[in-house]
């Protein structure tokens, strides 16, 4: 008994000593932080309120997460609100996503699309969209039926398991996967899906040792049967006029090998293609790519000027329609990316709401609407936005962030930090473990299936058999006075040759 008492006393003494040491260490740490804060000159709050001022930075960083879960209403978050994310999450899970008690969406906000239901809607509903053909004059034209496809997201910006999930999911869904500007990786190919190969301004994946375009590498890439078309990227919505940026922390040995760049160094793309200075240069390069690959070639850009569109179309007609791109992907100026300067993301480039009808009408005016297909891209992640794009004149629709949500993105706003908590935009193995491609591929397919179903449901309600038959007369746009007007009053319909 005396032995146990002695052991207990000794144990308590040790614990007391450790407790005192811990308190002492804590006090010393506070004193050190106090001295650092009081004597630094970069942060006024911390200088005036040492130690306590540090909590401001902490709360500022945590604020966006607390707002998402506790304070923000369902329809007020940006860039995607909770209602939109929840629709995607439930769709990707294959669950019922009907809602009770009425809409929570404010229908009097300027620009809101309101679809005009027909007095006699389609009785026999179908989700079998008509076939769409790209590059009818090419040696290997491309045909597809799907209404929604995966927009450009590079291997590098996205992780290996994220690309694997999208590749396998695209195969299950029957849609295409755009590689983004980071080159063609084995993970794009492994699912066996249709692939759109994107060439950015740095020519990743098809560049020689001097960083210039390599015919041999391009021929090798487009020789894969999975690669159906090439997209020459002039600009993307989040940063028009600025090249892509992949920080050194994301440039692993494998990514460096795919891109053809040094490992562990910042990967910065030029602001534009150095060899393309004019409309003629652009058309020359398009024709060259099509001759090498035998497959359709298009461009991706951000529209800001009707004048440039007229110049572009006149240049095509001067040379002949065979010099035209087979498609134009138009991105909205408020597009997404892993990293972009706020000055560009917030202020440069027209939104898709303005740019899409401008592009479609320019092609019609110059007699090129049938020759050039239009792909709409820019925050089109839910059915109403996709249906609006088809009403406006799009032939096909891309989304990137919609598919990111489908494989688990929580809008943590950490894409540029290499610390994505869901493993989608990080190259840290312990975070990538959160993605199981076999499971997420099914989520991608569920999302496509639900999107197709709901977009076609809107079309049937408007009285047409398929979404590609939607026209501007089928949607009304809310104006500043709270009233809506038919879209074809704002942008009159011309002969539609879709």
- Find the helix packing angle between 215-222 and 279-293, rounded to 10°: 60
Q: Which residue has the tokens 């401001």?
A: 56
Q: What is the pLDDT of residue 289?
A: 98
CB 383 within 8 A of CB 451: yes
Find where tokens 């009707």 sit. 306
Residues of the chain with pLDDT under 70: 1-12, 58-78, 237-239, 335-346, 495-498
Residues 6+ apart with CB under 8 A from 223: none
What is the structure's pLDDT at 277?
Answer: 94
Cα 174 from Cα 67, distance rounded (Å): 37
Cα(498)–Cα(360) distance, integer angstroms: 10
Distance CA 360, CA 496 (A): 10
Q: What is the DSSP letter of 109?
A: S
Predicted pLDDT of residue 437? 94
What integer pLDDT is reported at residue 300 of this predicted model? 96
Residue 172 confidence (pLDDT): 97
Task: Specify whether the CB–CB gap between 451 and 173 falls below 8 A.
Answer: no
pLDDT of residue 3: 53
How far is it, in rounded angstroms, from Cα 362 to Cα 497?
13
The confidence score (pLDDT) of residue 406 equals 93
Nearest to 401, CA basis, from 25, 80, 20: 80
pLDDT of amino acid 167: 97
Q: What is the structure's pLDDT at 337?
A: 65
> What pLDDT shows up at residue 496?
58
For every residue of 408-469, DSSP letters joined together read: T----S-TTTT--TTSSS---HHHHTT--HHHHHHHHHHHHHHHHHHHHHHHHHTT-SSGGG
pLDDT at 240: 74
Nearest CA to 204 out of 246, 242, 145, 250 is that of 246
Q: What is the pLDDT of residue 63?
A: 59
Q: Which of helix, strand or coil describes residue 250? A: helix
């Amino acid at each position: 008994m005396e032995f146990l008492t002695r052991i207990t006393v000794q144990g308590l003494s040790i614990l007391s000593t450790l407790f005192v040491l811990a308190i002492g260490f804590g006090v010393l740490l506070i004193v050190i932080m106090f001295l650092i804060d009081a004597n630094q000159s970069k942060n006024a709050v911390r200088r005036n309120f040492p130690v306590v001022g540090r909590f401001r930075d902490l709360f500022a960083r945590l604020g966006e997460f607390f707002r998402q879960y506790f304070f923000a209403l369902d329809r007020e978050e940006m860039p995607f609100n909770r209602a939109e994310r929840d629709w995607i999450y439930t769709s990707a899970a294959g669950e019922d996503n009907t809602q009770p008690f009425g809409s929570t969406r404010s229908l009097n906000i300027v620009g809101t699309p309101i679809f005009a239901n027909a007095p006699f809607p389609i009785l026999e509903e179908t989700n079998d969209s008509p076939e769409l053909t790209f590059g009818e004059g090419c040696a290997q034209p491309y045909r597809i039926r799907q209404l929604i496809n995966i927009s450009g997201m590079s291997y590098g910006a996205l992780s290996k398991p994220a690309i694997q999930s999208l590749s396998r999911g695209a195969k299950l869904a029957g849609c295409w996967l755009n590689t983004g500007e980071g080159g063609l990786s084995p993970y794009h190919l492994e699912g066996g899906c249709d692939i759109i190969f994107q060439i950015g301004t740095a020519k990743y994946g098809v560049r020689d040792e001097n960083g210039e375009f390599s015919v041999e590498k391009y021929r090798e890439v487009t020789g894969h049967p999975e690669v159906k078309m090439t997209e020459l990227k002039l600009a993307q919505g989040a940063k028009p006029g600025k090249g892509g940026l992949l920080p050194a922390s994301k440039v692993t040995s494998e990514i460096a090998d795919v891109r053809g760049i040094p490992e562990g160094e910042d990967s910065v793309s030029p602001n534009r293609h150095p060899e393309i200075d004019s409309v003629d240069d652009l058309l020359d390069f398009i024709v060259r790519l099509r001759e090498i690959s035998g497959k359709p070639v298009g461009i991706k850009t951000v529209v800001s000027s009707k004048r440039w569109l007229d110049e572009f179309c006149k240049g095509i007609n001067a040379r002949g329609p065979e010099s035209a791109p087979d498609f134009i992907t138009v991105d909205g100026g408020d597009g997404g990316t892993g990293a972009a300067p706020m000055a560009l993301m917030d202020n440069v480039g027209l939104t898709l709401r303005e740019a899409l009808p401008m592009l479609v009408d320019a092609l019609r005016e110059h007699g090129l609407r049938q020759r050039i297909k239009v792909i709409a891209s820019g925050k089109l992640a839910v059915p109403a936005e996709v249906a609006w794009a088809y009403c406006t004149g799009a032939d096909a629709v891309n989304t990137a962030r919609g598919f990111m949500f489908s494989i688990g993105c929580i809008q943590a706003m950490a894409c540029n930090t290499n610390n994505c908590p869901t493993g989608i935009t990080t190259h840290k193995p312990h975070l990538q473990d959160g993605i199981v491609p076999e499971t997420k591929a099914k989520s991608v397919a569920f999302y496509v299936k639900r999107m197709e179903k709901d977009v076609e449901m809107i079309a049937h309600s408007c009285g047409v058999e398929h979404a590609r038959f939607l026209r501007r007369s089928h949607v009304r746009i809310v104006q500043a006075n709270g009233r809506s007007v038919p879209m074809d009053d704002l942008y009159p319909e011309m002969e539609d040759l879709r």
